[in-house]
Structures are given as structure tokens and as C-alpha cells.
């Protein structure tokens, strides 16, 4: 099952957006991290990678395989997470308007009740990757005022082990 999920992950998150397999194996041992398969019958149709942080869950990666997009799988999977999460949700998205897929993703999350922060963020880069602009969307959590900074501090501290938000080393 992991092979199928990993193939979908690699298809959806190439380049700077995804972890290397080595880094993924390492992070899967973290007690706050979940790497879940989205299933239809006995087939993996998507992946959902998220962190249970203090006060919110951070959806780091979410994708449905290209063969199953537009079939409602993404909406149903995210609705299940919303229904069963004991906390607000935050997702990392490419800035709205960056390209057509980014705009579609923002629209997708808006339909599910997520609010777009409108302020770009810089999350630490994955191992061997460069830092790229990003943005956050939240469901049942205010990202204006100090909310955005608290979310970024928790992500930097709990996921990347940084006590302060400092630029993460880029690819060498």
C-alpha cells in the first residue's frame, strides 16, 4: 500500500514541494506525523500527510491521483478529516494566482470552508530543496493578527526543530 501511496505523492509533489524518500522514511517515525492513504475499495487513490500540532492539525500534503481527480475523492477525504479532527486545520498552498492549479486548489479549500490568509509565508525547505513562496489556509482558526505567527512558530518548532523561524538551509 505504501508503494501506491508514494507513487501518488511523487506524482503530485515533485521538485521543491515534496520530501525525498529518505526524508519521508525519517519523518514517518515522528509521533506527531500521519501519512495516510485515501482509499476506494481496496485501491489507493490519494495521500494525506498531516501533523497533529498543539492547537491545530497541519495538512502538509494532500493529493488525489491524476486518474481519480474530479471524482469527489478529495472533497470526501478532506470532509472526513474535518469531521473527525479534534482541532482546527491549516493547509499549505501555493499562493493564489501563481498558476491555474494553485488557483484551483485555493478554490477547492474555500468550498470546504477554509479561509485564505492572503499573506505569503516562507516555510523551511525540505532536505536538499530550495525555499519557495507559500501561503496558508485555515478552517476554524483565525490567521490574522498573531494567529499566523503562532501557526508558523509551531510548524517551525514542532516539524523542523527550529526554536525561531530562521531560513532553512537550501540545496547545496
Which stretches of 12-147 are assigned E, i.e. beta strand? 33-40, 43-53, 56-64, 89-93, 115-116, 135-139
Domain enclosing residue 40, as ranges:
2-158
Chain segment 87-109, per-residue pLDDT in tens: 999 999 988 777 788 899 999 99
Asked if residue 96 is part of any domain, the answer here is yes
Asked if residue 171 is part of any domain, the answer here is no
Asked if residue 119 is part of any domain, the answer here is yes
Whole-angstrom CA distances from 61 to 46, 49, 58 are 10, 5, 9
Q: Are 37 and 1 in contact (CB under 8 A)?
A: yes
Asked if residue 140 is part of any domain, the answer here is yes
Break the chain down into helix, strand, coil percent, rounded to 5: 35, 25, 40
Whole-angstrom CA distances from 31 to 7, 14, 28, 117 are 23, 25, 8, 28
Asked if residue 144 is part of any domain, the answer here is yes
Chain segment 106-132, per-residue pLDDT in tens: 999 999 999 999 888 888 888 888 888
Asked if residue 169 is part of any domain, the answer here is no
pLDDT range class, residue 163, cuts 50, 70, 90: low
Above 70 in pLDDT, residue 166? no
Look-up of cell digits 479561509 = 115
Asked if residue 172 is part of any domain, the answer here is no
**How far is 53 from 82, CA to CA, in rounded Å?**
15
**How far is 136 from 133, CA to CA, in rounded Å?**
11
Q: Residue 169: its pLDDT value, please?
A: 41
Could you tell me the pTM of the whole model?
Answer: 0.89
The CATH number linked to 104 is: 3.40.630.30
Asked if residue 166 is part of any domain, the answer here is no
Q: Are 15 and 129 in contact (CB under 8 A)?
A: yes
Count up the domains in the chain and report the number.
1
Amino acid at each position: 500500500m505504501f508503494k501506491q501511496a508514494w507513487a501518488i505523492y511523487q506524482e503530485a509533489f515533485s521538485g521543491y514541494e515534496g520530501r525525498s524518500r529518505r526524508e519521508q522514511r525519517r519523518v514517518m517515525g515522528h509521533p506527531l506525523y500521519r501519512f495516510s492513504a485515501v482509499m476506494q475499495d481496496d485501491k489507493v487513490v490519494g495521500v494525506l500527510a498531516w501533523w497533529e500540532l498543539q492547537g491545530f492539525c497541519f495538512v502538509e500534503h494532500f493529493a488525489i491521483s491524476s486518474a481519480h481527480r474530479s471524482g469527489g475523492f478529495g472533497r470526501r477525504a478532506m470532509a472526513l478529516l474535518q469531521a473527525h479532527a479534534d482541532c482546527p486545520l491549516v493547509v499549505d498552498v501555493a499562493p493564489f494566482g501563481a498558476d491555474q492549479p494553485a488557483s484551483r486548489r485555493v478554490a477547492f479549500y474555500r468550498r470546504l470552508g477554509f479561509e485564505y490568509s492572503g499573506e505569503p509565508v516562507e516555510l523551511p525547505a525540505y532536505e536538499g530543496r530550495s525555499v519557495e513562496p507559500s501561503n496558508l489556509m485555515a478552517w476554524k482558526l483565525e490567521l490574522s493578527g498573531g494567529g499566523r505567527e503562532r501557526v508558523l512558530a509551531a510548524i517551525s518548532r514542532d516539524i523542523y526543530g527550529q526554536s525561531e523561524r530562521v531560513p532553512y538551509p537550501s540545496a547545496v
